[in-house]
Amino acid sequence: MSSVAAYLDYNAGAPTRPVVVEAVTAALSIGGNPSSVHRSGRLARRAIEEARDAVAALAAVDAADVIFTSGGTEASNMALLGAVRGGLVQRLVISAVEHDAVRAAALAAGVPVEILPVDGDGVIDLVALGRLLAAGPGRALVSVMLVNNETGVIQPVAEAAAIAHGHGALVHSDAVQAAGKLALDVQALGVDLLSLSAHKIGGPAGVGALVKRAGLELAPLLFGGGQEYGRRAGTENLAGIAGFGAAARVAVEELPQVARIAALRDLLEREVTARVAAARIFGAGAARVANTSCIGLAGVPAETQVMALDLAGVLVGAGAACSSGKVRPSPVITAMGEAEAVARSAIRVSLGWASTMADVERFLGAYIEFAGRASLMRSGLGQKELSHG
């Protein structure tokens, strides 16, 4: 086995791009506080504003509407909690397949939270959205992710935004998994707020952005300074922001490479479904981004699959790994109407900028071999081989 693993967990975090390392290194050498008026401070401020321009271009917005944060989680918390605490909305509507960053923020907001159901492929029910908005009292904020982090399913956000705005609601979209895979345009999507994260596109971890509609102002979550135009107090993460800007530029430039990634993902899925009878691709009936495949193997827990593939030098994600490292039944898959046992079997294979055919072939070899041993175990044979192979 090669000592270099096949990394196929881009949705958890993409490998850092070389140009990002260069940008971070250059920013670290500046040494100034972006709020200072001397030469080093001005250089630091320039680096931040250049990065803001790049992130604004990624989302097709004005730079003044980009607020840098510590990541996608903070951006989504800022969107929901900032709207509630600022008195802009009195209730929240979130889809049943939202990331925990949105789900937990909604539950912590102190206002009624309504869940928008999805169909068997994980696509939101637009008719139900209209009913929810018409039935409840008070102005709502609707949060619908653009791309699901587990299945890669693309949500009809523009259609949802039109319905929401027709009821006077605000709209937030978690676009963390969409950046670099889809061309983003906040105005075309019709959203008021949009969350981004750097490390999903090959930037540094610990930096992200909330993009807002011009003229919309939220209550800040952090206090103590006038940074980010008074919207987020605290000295900016200069190195992280510079790296985010570099990653954003490359993400826009390399959007045409999505076709190459799609070809690899489609080959992977064809081989898996042709050679492993028990395998299922979740969300396959819906529009998906090119890099993501969520695969279920009935009766085999996701953590068992992830560990077996890791031993074979292939790194993939479990459907719903939490920060403790434990794996729980995927709430996304259960929201799609699947049984808990099925949801426990979901693994996520996600490709990205450095993925190759060799990575896919290595995954296929390891997965097909493991699935064969798992089948023997389920039939009551080969239990020793499965546990020791």
pLDDT in tens, 56-72: 999 999 999 999 999 99
In this structure, is residue 1 part of a structural domain?
A: no
Query: Does residue 234 share a domain with residue 323?
Result: no
C-alpha torsion 68→69→74→77, nearest 10: -40
Between CA 153 and CA 267 the distance in angstroms is 18
Which pLDDT score, from 0 to 100, does residue 326 have? 59
* Per-residue confidence band for 321, with pLDDT thresholds at 50, 70 and 90: low
Query: Does residue 312 share a domain with residue 240?
Result: no
Is 294 annotated as catalytic?
no
Residues facing residue 142 across a β-bridge = 93, 171
In this structure, is residue 138 part of a structural domain?
A: yes
- What number is the average pLDDT over the span 48-53? 98
* Per-residue confidence band for 378, with pLDDT thresholds at 50, 70 and 90: low
Which pLDDT score, from 0 to 100, does residue 257 have? 92
Query: Does residue 248 share a domain with residue 277?
Result: no
Radius of gyration in angstroms for the set of CA atoms belonging to the chain, rounded to a whole number: 22
pLDDT above 80: residue 385:
no
* Per-residue confidence band for 322, with pLDDT thresholds at 50, 70 and 90: very low
* Per-residue confidence band for 379, with pLDDT thresholds at 50, 70 and 90: low
Return all residues near 175 (Cβ < 8 A) that are at least 6 apart.
Answer: 59, 145, 146, 147, 184, 194, 195, 196
Q: Phi and psi for 303 in degrees, rounded to 5?
A: -65, -30
Return all residues near 312 (Cβ < 8 A) that are at least 6 apart.
Answer: 1, 362, 365, 366, 369, 370
User: For all residues of the chain together, what is the average pLDDT?
Assistant: 93
Query: Does residue 232 share a domain with residue 310?
Result: no
* Per-residue confidence band for 121, with pLDDT thresholds at 50, 70 and 90: very high
Catalytic residue selected from 322, 354, 357, 381: 322
Between CA 275 and CA 273 the distance in angstroms is 6
Which pLDDT score, from 0 to 100, does residue 383 have? 47
- What number is the average pLDDT over the span 3-32? 94
Query: Does residue 244 share a domain with residue 172?
Result: yes
Which pLDDT score, from 0 to 100, does residue 324 have? 45
Query: Does residue 300 share a domain with residue 338?
Result: yes
Tell me: the pLDDT tens digits for 204-240?
A: 999 999 999 999 999 999 999 889 999 999 999 999 9
pTM value is: 0.94
Query: Does residue 181 share a domain with residue 134?
Result: yes
**Domain coverage including residue 95:** 18-253
Query: Does residue 206 share a domain with residue 272?
Result: no
